Amino acid sequence: MPSSKRTDSPAPKVPSRPKEASAPALGKAVRKLTRPTGEFYGNIGTGFWTFFIPVAIYYFYGIMVMHSGRLVVPGPSFWYDLVYTLPDGLSIRPCWGPTVVSLTWVCCQALAEIVLPGKVKEGVMLKSGRKLLYPMNGLLTFFLSHVALFLLCKYEVLTPYYVFLNMGALLTEAVITSYVMALWLYVDFGIFWERHVDDPEFEEDHGVFDCQDFFNDFFMGVVRNPRLFHGILKVPFDLKRFWNARPGLTGWVILNISYLASMYYGCALPTDNVYGVNDSLFFGVHEAKSAMLQRAFADKDPASFCQEEGSISNIGLAAVFITLAHWYYIFDYNLVEPAYLTTTDIRHDLFGFMLTYGDWGFLSRFYPISFMGFLAVQKSANGYIVNNHVFAIIGVCMYLFGMFMFRVTNIEKHLFRDHMNNGGTVDKYRSPWSTRIVFGDKKPEYILTKEGSMLLTSGYWGLARHFNYIGDLTMCIGWAIACYDPSSPFPFLPIGYCIYFWLMDCHRCWRDEVRCSKKYGRDWERYKKAVPYYIFPGIW
């Protein structure tokens, strides 16, 4: 093991409200294509995912809203009904009302980030040697968003169950917004990259290098930290950090709450006569039910789908648990917001369609559909899931374990790096209590790379190189189990989310391994010998 003595100088402390330094004039920029290429199988793969992912989300929404979450083969009538049979809002036709509501939400979140008070923190060092500044007012924005929406519902500007009646149109708004934003990023920061060479966030690998790589660049992105309002704001508006952190994450839990409200008000789609008692595990073709669906929705006023008076008896333990679990997950993120600045999302990922849609059309729409949306439509079949207490309790226990692992592993690394980067030494560092209980009060061990990074090889980070994924992987399974009820449709939607999330984390693990191998070279090989497992100690 290398010496634990720190040899580099301590990082300067950030003043309470500093002014971000302007980049010196670069003249003729020196550019190198050092960003990853060929991921997702290059142009062919990224072109496929660019269109397949939104279609897949439409499918999951379709089986939720037309089949109570049952799997079906999506023939031509499936897509016809999804577009034309369902009424405005529920169908995936674009509508002005939900579009205005959704984009107003984005604008209000952006305004809150700009004007609300909060500490300013430095991000990690860029390839250019600079560090960008970020306002940390996420927690205040998070709570004010809840207050604002409560008041809008109280004074009947919006109905509490608005999402239940308008998710189809909200899905399409997210698709359009994501495509438009990704195309704008490709043109402004990609084709016309020379306009940004004097921006502090400009790096050597920004911009379009070859137009033949359009789909790869459109999907993966051509800029890492696009910032707006240089010279106008003290801290320029970081579009990627905002898009990752604010409208989608908070929107996710707000949509959950709206689905919870739909259960309270007994919202039910007019499909009661479409399924029989033995259809709880229905798997077939949509055409078998299409005619009945068309009759069920014919001339129905969506306002009649929900009751004027609500009842708490409609809400089961699973719905309360998942709403609170997801809410706390985002609250916890905002509570330790500075830790997010060291994650792969901010440090390494470029900002293209993968994130414009991933953060908005996927996370803030598919996540609510998968769990709370699934629970909210069970009134159409066998009633809401309110009596699956055993499965809900198992889900709660798995969630608590997963949330504990998620937090303690990430905070262990963050606190260690923060201590060392601010001039501390190993002798004076004290591990978090959660680490000391399991591993004892030992000095941390790490590998100091030539690049200057510190790779922990002790505590939880001595068990596996990506041990922090254990928490997320466990939590999502707990959520899915909590949605299971033998008398209701099998929870294909929640399980679909789990499959996606496990595949995403495994793929992300692989991407991180490739990136780190290139970045650290021989130091990474030393690290792999010290910590031989990827995610699961003793297994993989």
Residue-wise pLDDT for 132-152, tens only, equals 999 999 999 999 999 999 999
Q: How confident is the model at residue 434 (pLDDT cuts 50, 70, 90)?
A: low
| Contact by Cβ (8 Å): 446, 455 | yes
Q: How confident is the model at residue 441 (pLDDT cuts 50, 70, 90)?
A: low
DSSP structure class, residue 426? G
> Which whole number is the average pLDDT over 407-436?
67
pLDDT of residue 470: 83
DSSP structure class, residue 133? E
> Which whole number is the average pLDDT over 60-69?
91
Contacts of 53 (CB under 8 A, 6+ apart): 357, 362
pLDDT of residue 278: 47
382: pLDDT strictly greater than 80? no
CA distance 198 to 236: 14
**CB atoms < 10 A from the CB of 502, how many?**
15
Q: Which of 510, 328, 343 is nearest to 410 (CA)?
A: 343
DSSP structure class, residue 170? H
Q: How confident is the model at residue 289 (pLDDT cuts 50, 70, 90)?
A: confident
Q: How far is residue 434 from each of residues 400, 408, 409, measured CA to CA in Å?
A: 14, 6, 9
Q: pLDDT of 503-535, one tens digit each? A: 887 777 777 777 778 777 887 788 788 788 787
> Which whole number is the average pLDDT over 104-120?
95
**Token duo for residue 342:** 């060291």
Burial environment of residue 21 by CB neighbours within 10 A (0 to 12, 13 to 18, 19 or more): exposed
Q: What is the mean pLDDT of the chain?
A: 84
Most confident of 18-22, 104-108, 205-209, 518-522: 104-108
Q: Which residues of 265-274 are buried (b: 16+ CB within 10 A; e: fewer)?
A: bbbbbbbeeb
* 91 vs 336, higher pLDDT: 91
Most confident of 215-224, 406-415, 455-464: 215-224
> Which whole number is the average pLDDT over 217-231?
93
Of 12-16, 276-280, 364-368, the poorest mean pLDDT is in 12-16
Q: How confident is the model at residue 384 (pLDDT cuts 50, 70, 90)?
A: confident
**Token duo for residue 199:** 């921006």
CA distance 381 to 67: 9
**Token duo for residue 441:** 């009060």
| Contact by Cβ (8 Å): 281, 489 | yes
pLDDT of residue 91: 95
pLDDT of residue 64: 92
370: pLDDT strictly greater than 90? yes
pLDDT of residue 12: 35
Domain assignments of the chain as residue spans, ordered by start: 39-386, 387-540
* 276 vs 226, higher pLDDT: 226
Q: How confident is the model at residue 23 (pLDDT cuts 50, 70, 90)?
A: very low
Contacts of 77 (CB under 8 A, 6+ apart): 286, 287, 290
pLDDT of residue 275: 59
Residues found in the chain: 540
**Token duo for residue 169:** 């149109």
pLDDT of residue 29: 62
